[in-house]
Amino acid sequence: MDPLGARSQFVDVQTLPTWQQQIDENDPQFVQDHSDSLDNQQAFPSPFPFSSEINHKIILHVGDVALLNCTAIVNTSNESLSEKNPVSDMIHHLAGPELREELFKLKGCRTGEAKLTKGFNLAARFIIHTVGPKYKAKYRTAAESSLYSCYRNVMQLAAEHSMASVGFCVVSTTKRGYPLEDATHIALRTVRRFLENHGNNIETVVLAVSESEEVVYRKLLPLYYPRSEDEERVFLPLIPADIGNSEGEPVVPERQIRITEKPGTLEEDSEDDEESLEVDLGQVGTHAFARMEGDVDKQRKLILQGQMSEAAAQKQHQRNYNRWLCRARAEDLSDIAALKALYQTGVDINGRTVMVLVGRNIPVNLIDIEKALLYFIHVMDHITAKEYVMVYFHTLTAEHNHLDSDFLKNLYDIVDAKYKKNLKAFYFVHPSFRSKVSTWFFTTFSVSGIKEKVRYLDNLQQLFHCIRPEQIDIPPFVLEYDERVSTYKNVLNYDT
Protein backbone atom coordinates (compact mmCIF):
# COMPACT_ATOMS: atom_id res chain seq x y z
CA MET A 1 0.00 0.00 0.00
CA ASP A 2 1.29 3.49 -0.79
CA PRO A 3 2.49 5.61 2.16
CA LEU A 4 -0.04 8.17 3.32
CA GLY A 5 0.09 11.22 1.07
CA ALA A 6 2.37 9.54 -1.49
CA ARG A 7 1.39 9.61 -5.13
CA SER A 8 -0.01 6.27 -6.33
CA GLN A 9 1.93 4.47 -9.05
CA PHE A 10 -1.33 3.32 -10.63
CA VAL A 11 -2.93 5.32 -13.43
CA ASP A 12 -6.64 6.16 -13.36
CA VAL A 13 -7.87 5.66 -16.92
CA GLN A 14 -10.55 8.29 -16.38
CA THR A 15 -7.81 10.95 -16.27
CA LEU A 16 -6.29 9.94 -19.63
CA PRO A 17 -7.23 11.80 -22.83
CA THR A 18 -9.29 9.79 -25.30
CA TRP A 19 -8.21 9.23 -28.90
CA GLN A 20 -10.71 11.86 -30.02
CA GLN A 21 -8.94 14.32 -27.73
CA GLN A 22 -5.42 13.18 -28.62
CA ILE A 23 -4.88 15.40 -31.62
CA ASP A 24 -1.20 15.16 -32.46
CA GLU A 25 0.20 18.45 -33.67
CA ASN A 26 1.28 16.83 -36.93
CA ASP A 27 -2.07 15.28 -37.71
CA PRO A 28 -4.04 18.49 -38.44
CA GLN A 29 -1.15 19.65 -40.61
CA PHE A 30 -1.28 16.37 -42.51
CA VAL A 31 -4.97 16.88 -43.22
CA GLN A 32 -4.36 20.50 -44.20
CA ASP A 33 -1.54 19.53 -46.59
CA HIS A 34 -3.94 17.12 -48.32
CA SER A 35 -6.97 19.41 -48.28
CA ASP A 36 -6.56 20.24 -51.97
CA SER A 37 -6.93 16.59 -52.91
CA LEU A 38 -9.98 16.03 -50.72
CA ASP A 39 -12.35 17.77 -53.11
CA ASN A 40 -10.98 15.74 -56.02
CA GLN A 41 -11.43 12.37 -54.34
CA GLN A 42 -14.38 10.27 -55.34
CA ALA A 43 -16.69 9.79 -52.36
CA PHE A 44 -16.19 6.07 -51.65
CA PRO A 45 -17.86 5.05 -48.38
CA SER A 46 -15.22 4.27 -45.77
CA PRO A 47 -15.45 0.86 -44.07
CA PHE A 48 -14.37 2.66 -40.88
CA PRO A 49 -16.35 5.92 -40.84
CA PHE A 50 -15.73 8.73 -38.40
CA SER A 51 -17.43 8.00 -35.07
CA SER A 52 -16.91 10.38 -32.20
CA GLU A 53 -18.67 7.95 -29.86
CA ILE A 54 -16.22 5.14 -30.57
CA ASN A 55 -13.20 7.47 -30.57
CA HIS A 56 -14.11 8.62 -27.06
CA LYS A 57 -13.89 4.99 -25.92
CA ILE A 58 -10.32 4.56 -27.22
CA ILE A 59 -7.24 5.68 -25.30
CA LEU A 60 -3.67 5.41 -26.58
CA HIS A 61 -1.41 5.37 -23.53
CA VAL A 62 2.37 5.09 -23.41
CA GLY A 63 2.99 3.16 -20.22
CA ASP A 64 2.76 -0.18 -18.46
CA VAL A 65 -0.57 -1.97 -18.74
CA ALA A 66 -0.08 -3.39 -15.22
CA LEU A 67 -0.41 0.10 -13.76
CA LEU A 68 -3.83 0.84 -15.24
CA ASN A 69 -6.71 1.29 -12.84
CA CYS A 70 -9.51 -0.23 -14.93
CA THR A 71 -11.87 -3.18 -14.73
CA ALA A 72 -9.50 -5.61 -16.46
CA ILE A 73 -6.05 -5.64 -18.03
CA VAL A 74 -4.64 -8.07 -20.59
CA ASN A 75 -1.64 -10.29 -20.01
CA THR A 76 0.12 -11.90 -22.98
CA SER A 77 1.79 -15.23 -22.27
CA ASN A 78 2.44 -18.72 -23.60
CA GLU A 79 0.32 -21.86 -23.56
CA SER A 80 1.39 -22.78 -20.01
CA LEU A 81 0.82 -19.16 -18.86
CA SER A 82 4.41 -19.04 -17.60
CA GLU A 83 6.19 -16.95 -20.23
CA LYS A 84 8.77 -14.46 -19.02
CA ASN A 85 8.30 -11.14 -20.80
CA PRO A 86 8.27 -7.50 -19.59
CA VAL A 87 4.47 -7.24 -19.57
CA SER A 88 3.87 -10.52 -17.75
CA ASP A 89 6.73 -9.96 -15.30
CA MET A 90 5.34 -6.58 -14.19
CA ILE A 91 1.82 -7.98 -13.81
CA HIS A 92 3.08 -10.86 -11.64
CA HIS A 93 5.28 -8.54 -9.60
CA LEU A 94 2.41 -6.20 -8.75
CA ALA A 95 -0.36 -8.81 -8.44
CA GLY A 96 1.53 -10.94 -5.93
CA PRO A 97 2.10 -14.70 -5.50
CA GLU A 98 -1.63 -15.46 -5.44
CA LEU A 99 -1.75 -14.91 -9.18
CA ARG A 100 0.67 -17.74 -9.92
CA GLU A 101 -1.38 -20.08 -7.75
CA GLU A 102 -4.54 -19.06 -9.62
CA LEU A 103 -2.87 -19.62 -13.00
CA PHE A 104 -1.82 -23.11 -11.97
CA LYS A 105 -5.51 -23.98 -11.52
CA LEU A 106 -6.31 -22.87 -15.08
CA LYS A 107 -4.08 -25.64 -16.49
CA GLY A 108 -2.83 -23.54 -19.38
CA CYS A 109 -4.47 -21.66 -22.24
CA ARG A 110 -4.53 -22.53 -25.93
CA THR A 111 -3.35 -20.13 -28.61
CA GLY A 112 -6.08 -17.61 -29.39
CA GLU A 113 -8.05 -18.32 -26.21
CA ALA A 114 -8.60 -15.93 -23.30
CA LYS A 115 -8.96 -16.86 -19.63
CA LEU A 116 -9.90 -14.76 -16.61
CA THR A 117 -8.38 -14.43 -13.14
CA LYS A 118 -8.66 -11.91 -10.31
CA GLY A 119 -6.35 -8.92 -10.27
CA PHE A 120 -5.28 -9.51 -6.65
CA ASN A 121 -2.96 -6.60 -5.67
CA LEU A 122 -3.33 -4.78 -8.98
CA ALA A 123 -5.53 -1.73 -9.37
CA ALA A 124 -7.44 -3.71 -12.01
CA ARG A 125 -10.10 -6.08 -10.68
CA PHE A 126 -9.40 -8.76 -13.28
CA ILE A 127 -6.64 -10.03 -15.55
CA ILE A 128 -7.51 -11.53 -18.93
CA HIS A 129 -4.76 -13.89 -20.04
CA THR A 130 -4.35 -14.69 -23.74
CA VAL A 131 -1.80 -16.51 -25.88
CA GLY A 132 -0.66 -14.94 -29.12
CA PRO A 133 0.53 -17.11 -32.04
CA LYS A 134 4.11 -17.89 -32.98
CA TYR A 135 4.61 -16.21 -36.34
CA LYS A 136 6.04 -18.02 -39.35
CA ALA A 137 5.64 -16.60 -42.84
CA LYS A 138 4.46 -19.88 -44.37
CA TYR A 139 1.77 -20.19 -41.68
CA ARG A 140 0.74 -16.54 -41.84
CA THR A 141 -2.95 -17.32 -42.38
CA ALA A 142 -3.14 -19.40 -39.19
CA ALA A 143 -1.24 -16.75 -37.24
CA GLU A 144 -3.61 -13.99 -38.41
CA SER A 145 -6.66 -15.99 -37.40
CA SER A 146 -5.18 -16.82 -33.99
CA LEU A 147 -4.21 -13.22 -33.25
CA TYR A 148 -7.70 -12.08 -34.26
CA SER A 149 -9.12 -14.67 -31.84
CA CYS A 150 -6.96 -13.27 -29.02
CA TYR A 151 -8.38 -9.76 -29.33
CA ARG A 152 -11.89 -10.97 -30.10
CA ASN A 153 -12.01 -13.35 -27.12
CA VAL A 154 -10.65 -10.72 -24.75
CA MET A 155 -13.38 -8.30 -25.83
CA GLN A 156 -15.97 -11.06 -25.58
CA LEU A 157 -14.97 -11.82 -21.99
CA ALA A 158 -15.12 -8.13 -21.15
CA ALA A 159 -18.63 -7.86 -22.59
CA GLU A 160 -19.88 -11.06 -20.94
CA HIS A 161 -18.69 -9.87 -17.50
CA SER A 162 -20.09 -6.35 -18.00
CA MET A 163 -16.67 -4.75 -17.73
CA ALA A 164 -16.67 -1.00 -18.18
CA SER A 165 -13.00 -0.72 -19.13
CA VAL A 166 -10.26 -2.99 -20.41
CA GLY A 167 -6.55 -2.26 -20.85
CA PHE A 168 -4.69 -3.98 -23.71
CA CYS A 169 -1.01 -4.60 -23.97
CA VAL A 170 0.38 -5.55 -27.39
CA VAL A 171 -0.67 -9.22 -27.69
CA SER A 172 2.57 -10.50 -29.19
CA THR A 173 6.07 -10.73 -27.80
CA THR A 174 9.56 -10.70 -29.25
CA LYS A 175 9.77 -14.44 -28.65
CA ARG A 176 6.70 -15.02 -30.80
CA GLY A 177 8.03 -12.89 -33.66
CA TYR A 178 4.79 -11.35 -34.95
CA PRO A 179 5.52 -8.26 -37.13
CA LEU A 180 4.32 -5.29 -35.11
CA GLU A 181 2.63 -3.38 -37.92
CA ASP A 182 0.74 -6.44 -39.18
CA ALA A 183 -0.36 -7.25 -35.63
CA THR A 184 -1.50 -3.67 -35.06
CA HIS A 185 -3.79 -3.73 -38.11
CA ILE A 186 -5.54 -6.83 -36.74
CA ALA A 187 -5.75 -5.41 -33.22
CA LEU A 188 -7.23 -2.06 -34.21
CA ARG A 189 -9.85 -3.33 -36.62
CA THR A 190 -10.93 -6.22 -34.36
CA VAL A 191 -11.51 -3.88 -31.43
CA ARG A 192 -13.29 -1.39 -33.71
CA ARG A 193 -15.68 -4.00 -35.11
CA PHE A 194 -16.44 -5.38 -31.66
CA LEU A 195 -17.26 -1.93 -30.32
CA GLU A 196 -19.52 -1.33 -33.31
CA ASN A 197 -21.39 -4.62 -33.04
CA HIS A 198 -21.32 -5.60 -29.36
CA GLY A 199 -19.64 -2.87 -27.33
CA ASN A 200 -22.52 -0.76 -26.03
CA ASN A 201 -21.64 -1.47 -22.39
CA ILE A 202 -17.86 -1.11 -22.78
CA GLU A 203 -16.93 2.46 -21.95
CA THR A 204 -13.15 2.49 -22.34
CA VAL A 205 -10.50 0.50 -24.19
CA VAL A 206 -6.93 1.51 -23.33
CA LEU A 207 -4.13 0.56 -25.72
CA ALA A 208 -1.05 0.54 -23.49
CA VAL A 209 2.11 0.62 -25.60
CA SER A 210 5.82 1.31 -25.31
CA GLU A 211 7.44 4.32 -26.95
CA SER A 212 8.56 2.26 -29.95
CA GLU A 213 5.11 0.69 -30.32
CA GLU A 214 3.44 4.09 -30.04
CA VAL A 215 4.92 5.18 -33.39
CA VAL A 216 3.15 2.34 -35.20
CA TYR A 217 -0.12 2.70 -33.29
CA ARG A 218 -0.28 6.44 -33.84
CA LYS A 219 0.36 5.93 -37.56
CA LEU A 220 -2.38 3.32 -38.00
CA LEU A 221 -5.07 4.53 -35.59
CA PRO A 222 -6.44 7.18 -38.02
CA LEU A 223 -7.16 4.42 -40.57
CA TYR A 224 -9.59 2.68 -38.23
CA TYR A 225 -10.55 5.55 -35.89
CA PRO A 226 -10.57 8.77 -37.95
CA ARG A 227 -11.23 11.80 -35.74
CA SER A 228 -13.01 13.86 -38.37
CA GLU A 229 -14.60 13.39 -41.76
CA ASP A 230 -11.60 15.03 -43.40
CA GLU A 231 -9.22 12.65 -41.64
CA GLU A 232 -11.46 9.78 -42.71
CA ARG A 233 -11.18 10.77 -46.35
CA VAL A 234 -7.43 11.45 -46.22
CA PHE A 235 -6.60 8.07 -44.70
CA LEU A 236 -9.13 6.05 -46.73
CA PRO A 237 -6.63 5.22 -49.54
CA LEU A 238 -4.21 3.87 -46.91
CA ILE A 239 -6.63 1.24 -45.54
CA PRO A 240 -5.43 -2.26 -46.54
CA ALA A 241 -7.35 -4.21 -49.15
CA ASP A 242 -8.05 -6.97 -46.63
CA ILE A 243 -10.07 -5.36 -43.84
CA GLY A 244 -11.60 -8.60 -42.58
CA ASN A 245 -15.23 -9.57 -42.39
CA SER A 246 -18.00 -7.88 -40.41
CA GLU A 247 -16.28 -8.90 -37.16
CA GLY A 248 -12.78 -7.90 -38.27
CA GLU A 249 -11.60 -11.47 -38.89
CA PRO A 250 -8.71 -11.44 -41.40
CA VAL A 251 -9.32 -12.17 -45.07
CA VAL A 252 -6.43 -14.07 -46.61
CA PRO A 253 -5.07 -13.28 -50.11
CA GLU A 254 -6.80 -16.31 -51.60
CA ARG A 255 -10.11 -14.54 -50.97
CA GLN A 256 -9.28 -11.65 -53.31
CA ILE A 257 -11.64 -11.44 -56.25
CA ARG A 258 -10.36 -12.14 -59.74
CA ILE A 259 -12.97 -10.87 -62.19
CA THR A 260 -11.37 -12.14 -65.40
CA GLU A 261 -8.92 -14.91 -66.09
CA LYS A 262 -6.68 -12.53 -68.07
CA PRO A 263 -6.97 -9.02 -66.62
CA GLY A 264 -6.39 -6.29 -69.13
CA THR A 265 -7.64 -8.25 -72.14
CA LEU A 266 -10.90 -7.51 -73.90
CA GLU A 267 -13.80 -9.88 -73.50
CA GLU A 268 -16.19 -10.73 -76.29
CA ASP A 269 -19.07 -8.98 -74.59
CA SER A 270 -18.23 -5.31 -73.98
CA GLU A 271 -21.19 -4.88 -71.69
CA ASP A 272 -19.82 -7.62 -69.43
CA ASP A 273 -16.44 -5.87 -69.49
CA GLU A 274 -17.96 -2.68 -68.18
CA GLU A 275 -19.72 -4.56 -65.40
CA SER A 276 -16.55 -6.48 -64.50
CA LEU A 277 -14.71 -3.18 -64.28
CA GLU A 278 -17.39 -1.87 -61.93
CA VAL A 279 -16.98 -4.93 -59.72
CA ASP A 280 -13.20 -4.61 -59.78
CA LEU A 281 -13.48 -1.04 -58.56
CA GLY A 282 -15.71 -2.15 -55.73
CA GLN A 283 -18.70 -0.18 -56.99
CA VAL A 284 -21.26 -2.91 -56.38
CA GLY A 285 -24.66 -1.75 -55.26
CA THR A 286 -28.09 -3.25 -55.27
CA HIS A 287 -29.06 -1.89 -58.65
CA ALA A 288 -25.81 -2.76 -60.39
CA PHE A 289 -25.99 -6.21 -58.89
CA ALA A 290 -29.52 -6.63 -60.18
CA ARG A 291 -28.36 -5.67 -63.70
CA MET A 292 -25.62 -8.26 -63.53
CA GLU A 293 -28.04 -10.97 -62.52
CA GLY A 294 -30.16 -10.09 -65.53
CA ASP A 295 -27.22 -10.69 -67.85
CA VAL A 296 -26.48 -13.98 -66.17
CA ASP A 297 -30.02 -15.14 -66.89
CA LYS A 298 -29.46 -14.42 -70.59
CA GLN A 299 -26.28 -16.45 -70.54
CA ARG A 300 -28.02 -19.33 -68.78
CA LYS A 301 -30.67 -19.31 -71.48
CA LEU A 302 -27.98 -19.69 -74.11
CA ILE A 303 -26.48 -22.58 -72.16
CA LEU A 304 -29.85 -24.36 -72.02
CA GLN A 305 -30.24 -23.83 -75.75
CA GLY A 306 -26.82 -25.34 -76.35
CA GLN A 307 -25.46 -22.17 -77.95
CA MET A 308 -22.54 -21.61 -75.53
CA SER A 309 -19.35 -23.65 -75.29
CA GLU A 310 -18.43 -25.39 -72.06
CA ALA A 311 -15.42 -23.10 -71.56
CA ALA A 312 -17.56 -19.99 -72.04
CA ALA A 313 -20.16 -21.39 -69.66
CA GLN A 314 -17.51 -22.01 -67.00
CA LYS A 315 -16.17 -18.48 -67.44
CA GLN A 316 -19.66 -17.05 -67.10
CA HIS A 317 -20.28 -19.13 -63.97
CA GLN A 318 -17.02 -17.87 -62.44
CA ARG A 319 -17.98 -14.29 -63.25
CA ASN A 320 -21.39 -14.79 -61.65
CA TYR A 321 -19.83 -16.29 -58.51
CA ASN A 322 -17.36 -13.40 -58.23
CA ARG A 323 -20.26 -10.96 -58.27
CA TRP A 324 -21.94 -12.78 -55.41
CA LEU A 325 -18.64 -12.84 -53.51
CA CYS A 326 -18.10 -9.14 -54.06
CA ARG A 327 -21.56 -8.35 -52.77
CA ALA A 328 -21.04 -10.65 -49.78
CA ARG A 329 -17.98 -8.65 -48.78
CA ALA A 330 -19.74 -5.33 -49.22
CA GLU A 331 -22.87 -6.04 -47.16
CA ASP A 332 -23.28 -5.98 -43.39
CA LEU A 333 -23.91 -9.62 -42.47
CA SER A 334 -23.40 -9.28 -38.72
CA ASP A 335 -27.01 -10.32 -37.98
CA ILE A 336 -26.46 -13.64 -39.78
CA ALA A 337 -23.07 -14.12 -38.11
CA ALA A 338 -24.69 -13.61 -34.69
CA LEU A 339 -26.78 -16.76 -35.21
CA LYS A 340 -23.61 -18.89 -34.93
CA ALA A 341 -25.10 -21.35 -37.39
CA LEU A 342 -21.91 -21.67 -39.47
CA TYR A 343 -18.39 -21.54 -38.10
CA GLN A 344 -14.90 -22.93 -38.52
CA THR A 345 -13.43 -25.22 -35.89
CA GLY A 346 -10.33 -27.50 -35.94
CA VAL A 347 -9.20 -30.23 -38.32
CA ASP A 348 -10.20 -33.87 -38.83
CA ILE A 349 -7.88 -36.88 -38.42
CA ASN A 350 -6.58 -36.25 -41.95
CA GLY A 351 -5.72 -32.62 -41.24
CA ARG A 352 -8.61 -31.15 -43.26
CA THR A 353 -10.45 -28.03 -42.09
CA VAL A 354 -13.74 -28.73 -40.30
CA MET A 355 -16.73 -26.45 -40.84
CA VAL A 356 -19.76 -26.77 -38.56
CA LEU A 357 -23.38 -26.09 -39.53
CA VAL A 358 -25.95 -25.99 -36.69
CA GLY A 359 -29.46 -26.61 -37.99
CA ARG A 360 -31.31 -25.44 -34.88
CA ASN A 361 -29.64 -22.02 -35.12
CA ILE A 362 -31.19 -21.25 -38.52
CA PRO A 363 -34.56 -19.47 -38.08
CA VAL A 364 -35.54 -19.79 -41.75
CA ASN A 365 -38.83 -17.91 -41.34
CA LEU A 366 -37.19 -14.93 -39.63
CA ILE A 367 -33.99 -14.27 -41.57
CA ASP A 368 -33.24 -12.84 -44.99
CA ILE A 369 -32.46 -16.00 -46.97
CA GLU A 370 -30.44 -14.10 -49.57
CA LYS A 371 -28.25 -12.63 -46.83
CA ALA A 372 -27.79 -16.15 -45.46
CA LEU A 373 -26.57 -17.24 -48.87
CA LEU A 374 -24.19 -14.27 -49.01
CA TYR A 375 -22.87 -15.09 -45.55
CA PHE A 376 -22.23 -18.71 -46.53
CA ILE A 377 -20.21 -17.57 -49.55
CA HIS A 378 -18.34 -14.98 -47.50
CA VAL A 379 -17.28 -17.51 -44.84
CA MET A 380 -16.61 -20.47 -47.10
CA ASP A 381 -14.73 -18.90 -50.02
CA HIS A 382 -11.22 -19.20 -48.56
CA ILE A 383 -12.00 -22.47 -46.71
CA THR A 384 -12.86 -24.28 -49.94
CA ALA A 385 -9.50 -23.42 -51.54
CA LYS A 386 -8.23 -26.62 -49.84
CA GLU A 387 -9.80 -29.93 -48.83
CA TYR A 388 -12.40 -29.58 -46.08
CA VAL A 389 -15.26 -31.43 -44.38
CA MET A 390 -18.66 -30.26 -43.16
CA VAL A 391 -20.37 -31.35 -39.94
CA TYR A 392 -24.10 -30.71 -39.88
CA PHE A 393 -25.84 -31.01 -36.50
CA HIS A 394 -29.47 -31.83 -37.24
CA THR A 395 -30.02 -32.12 -33.49
CA LEU A 396 -33.43 -30.86 -32.29
CA THR A 397 -34.22 -29.03 -35.53
CA ALA A 398 -37.85 -28.11 -36.17
CA GLU A 399 -39.85 -27.25 -39.27
CA HIS A 400 -38.82 -23.58 -39.10
CA ASN A 401 -35.15 -24.64 -39.23
CA HIS A 402 -35.36 -26.60 -42.48
CA LEU A 403 -33.89 -24.87 -45.52
CA ASP A 404 -36.00 -25.10 -48.65
CA SER A 405 -34.67 -27.46 -51.32
CA ASP A 406 -34.93 -24.66 -53.90
CA PHE A 407 -32.61 -22.54 -51.77
CA LEU A 408 -30.11 -25.39 -51.48
CA LYS A 409 -30.28 -26.04 -55.23
CA ASN A 410 -29.72 -22.33 -55.91
CA LEU A 411 -26.74 -22.29 -53.54
CA TYR A 412 -25.28 -25.38 -55.20
CA ASP A 413 -25.61 -23.79 -58.64
CA ILE A 414 -24.01 -20.48 -57.57
CA VAL A 415 -20.95 -21.61 -55.63
CA ASP A 416 -17.56 -22.09 -57.24
CA ALA A 417 -16.46 -25.51 -58.46
CA LYS A 418 -13.87 -25.70 -55.67
CA TYR A 419 -16.70 -26.01 -53.11
CA LYS A 420 -17.76 -29.33 -54.63
CA LYS A 421 -14.31 -30.61 -55.58
CA ASN A 422 -12.64 -30.01 -52.20
CA LEU A 423 -15.55 -31.17 -50.01
CA LYS A 424 -14.37 -34.60 -48.86
CA ALA A 425 -17.12 -35.53 -46.40
CA PHE A 426 -20.46 -34.24 -45.16
CA TYR A 427 -21.18 -35.63 -41.68
CA PHE A 428 -24.92 -35.59 -40.93
CA VAL A 429 -25.20 -35.91 -37.12
CA HIS A 430 -28.41 -37.03 -35.37
CA PRO A 431 -30.48 -37.47 -38.56
CA SER A 432 -34.17 -38.26 -38.43
CA PHE A 433 -35.82 -40.73 -40.81
CA ARG A 434 -37.50 -37.89 -42.66
CA SER A 435 -34.24 -35.96 -43.05
CA LYS A 436 -32.53 -39.05 -44.44
CA VAL A 437 -35.25 -39.47 -47.05
CA SER A 438 -35.16 -35.77 -47.99
CA THR A 439 -31.37 -35.78 -48.27
CA TRP A 440 -31.37 -38.92 -50.40
CA PHE A 441 -33.95 -37.45 -52.74
CA PHE A 442 -32.10 -34.13 -52.98
CA THR A 443 -28.65 -35.63 -53.61
CA THR A 444 -30.06 -38.12 -56.10
CA PHE A 445 -32.26 -35.90 -58.26
CA SER A 446 -31.30 -32.27 -57.60
CA VAL A 447 -27.50 -32.19 -57.32
CA SER A 448 -24.72 -34.47 -58.44
CA GLY A 449 -21.45 -35.56 -56.86
CA ILE A 450 -22.54 -35.09 -53.24
CA LYS A 451 -24.46 -38.25 -52.43
CA GLU A 452 -21.38 -40.44 -51.91
CA LYS A 453 -19.88 -37.86 -49.53
CA VAL A 454 -22.79 -37.85 -47.06
CA ARG A 455 -22.21 -39.86 -43.87
CA TYR A 456 -25.08 -40.34 -41.40
CA LEU A 457 -23.92 -40.45 -37.77
CA ASP A 458 -26.35 -41.37 -35.01
CA ASN A 459 -24.15 -40.21 -32.14
CA LEU A 460 -21.07 -38.17 -31.34
CA GLN A 461 -18.90 -41.21 -30.69
CA GLN A 462 -19.15 -42.06 -34.38
CA LEU A 463 -18.13 -38.49 -35.20
CA PHE A 464 -15.12 -38.71 -32.88
CA HIS A 465 -13.74 -41.55 -35.01
CA CYS A 466 -13.35 -38.96 -37.78
CA ILE A 467 -12.70 -35.78 -35.77
CA ARG A 468 -11.07 -35.77 -32.36
CA PRO A 469 -13.21 -34.15 -29.60
CA GLU A 470 -10.68 -31.38 -28.96
CA GLN A 471 -10.79 -30.39 -32.64
CA ILE A 472 -14.49 -29.53 -32.84
CA ASP A 473 -16.59 -26.96 -30.98
CA ILE A 474 -19.91 -28.67 -30.27
CA PRO A 475 -22.93 -26.64 -29.05
CA PRO A 476 -23.91 -27.54 -25.47
CA PHE A 477 -27.45 -28.58 -26.44
CA VAL A 478 -25.99 -31.14 -28.88
CA LEU A 479 -23.82 -32.64 -26.14
CA GLU A 480 -26.77 -32.80 -23.74
CA TYR A 481 -29.02 -34.41 -26.34
CA ASP A 482 -26.41 -36.99 -27.28
CA GLU A 483 -25.80 -37.92 -23.66
CA ARG A 484 -29.53 -38.18 -22.96
CA VAL A 485 -30.14 -40.43 -25.96
CA SER A 486 -27.13 -42.61 -25.14
CA THR A 487 -28.34 -43.05 -21.56
CA TYR A 488 -31.84 -43.94 -22.76
CA LYS A 489 -30.48 -46.56 -25.17
CA ASN A 490 -28.29 -48.06 -22.48
CA VAL A 491 -31.32 -48.37 -20.18
CA LEU A 492 -33.30 -50.10 -22.92
CA ASN A 493 -30.45 -52.50 -23.64
CA TYR A 494 -30.15 -53.27 -19.94
CA ASP A 495 -33.88 -53.97 -19.64
CA THR A 496 -33.84 -56.31 -22.59
What share of the chain has pLDDT > 90, as a percent? Answer: 49
Has residue 304 been placed in a domain?
Answer: yes
Lowest mean pLDDT across 78-87, 108-117, 397-406, 487-496: 487-496
Determine the Cα–Cα distance for residues 131 and 111; give it in Å rounded to an integer. 5
For residues 340 and 221, state if they share a domain.
Answer: no
For residues 324 and 345, state if they share a domain.
Answer: no
Residues 334, 338, 343, 346, CA torsion sign: positive
For residues 368 and 314, state if they share a domain.
Answer: no
Quick one: which of 179, 194, 209, 228 has its CA closest to 52?
Answer: 228
Query: Residue 302's pLDDT band (boundaries 50, 70, 90)?
Result: low
Boundary (domain end) residue, out of 280, 311, 330: 330
Determine the Cα–Cα distance for residues 196 and 58; give it in Å rounded to an integer. 13
At residue 402, does pLDDT exceed 60? yes
Boundary (domain end) residue, out of 283, 315, 330: 330
Is residue 428 helix, strand or coil?
strand
Query: Residue 469's pLDDT band (boundaries 50, 70, 90)?
Result: very high
At residue 62, does pLDDT exceed 90? yes
Average pLDDT, the chain: 82
Most confident of 59-63, 237-241, 368-372, 413-417: 59-63
Q: Do the strands 353-358 and 342-347 form a parallel or antiparallel pair, or are they unpaired?
A: antiparallel
Quick one: which of 319, 304, 197 has its CA closest to 267?
Answer: 319
Has residue 254 been placed in a domain?
Answer: no
Boundary (domain end) residue, out of 307, 330, 353: 330
| Angle separating helix axes 270-280 and 310-330, nearest 10 degrees | 30
Has residue 245 been placed in a domain?
Answer: no
Render pLDDT for 172-200 as a digit per residue (tens, 0 to 9). 877 788 999 999 999 999 999 999 999 88
Q: Which domain holds residue 410?
A: 334-495
Looking at the structure of the chain, the number of domains it has is 3
Has residue 301 been placed in a domain?
Answer: yes
For residues 65 and 34, state if they share a domain.
Answer: yes
Has residue 263 been placed in a domain?
Answer: no
pLDDT computed for residue 32 by the predictor: 53
Has residue 4 been placed in a domain?
Answer: no
For residues 158 and 274, state if they share a domain.
Answer: no
Query: Residue 43's pLDDT band (boundaries 50, 70, 90)?
Result: low
pLDDT computed for residue 325 by the predictor: 84
At residue 399, does pLDDT exceed 80? no
At residue 153, does pLDDT exceed 50? yes
pLDDT computed for residue 329 by the predictor: 77
Has residue 264 been placed in a domain?
Answer: no
pLDDT computed for residue 218 by the predictor: 96
| Angle separating helix axes 140-160 and 180-198, nearest 10 degrees | 40
For residues 128 and 157, state if they share a domain.
Answer: yes
For residues 276 and 193, state if they share a domain.
Answer: no
Asked whether the beta carbons of 98 and 88 are under 8 A apart, the reply is no
For residues 390 and 402, state if they share a domain.
Answer: yes
Q: What angle do CA 146, 427, 454 make, to 5 degrees?
A: 135
* Domain CATH code at residue 15: 3.40.220.10
For residues 428 and 399, state if they share a domain.
Answer: yes
At residue 3, does pLDDT exceed 70? no
* Domain CATH code at residue 395: 3.40.525.10
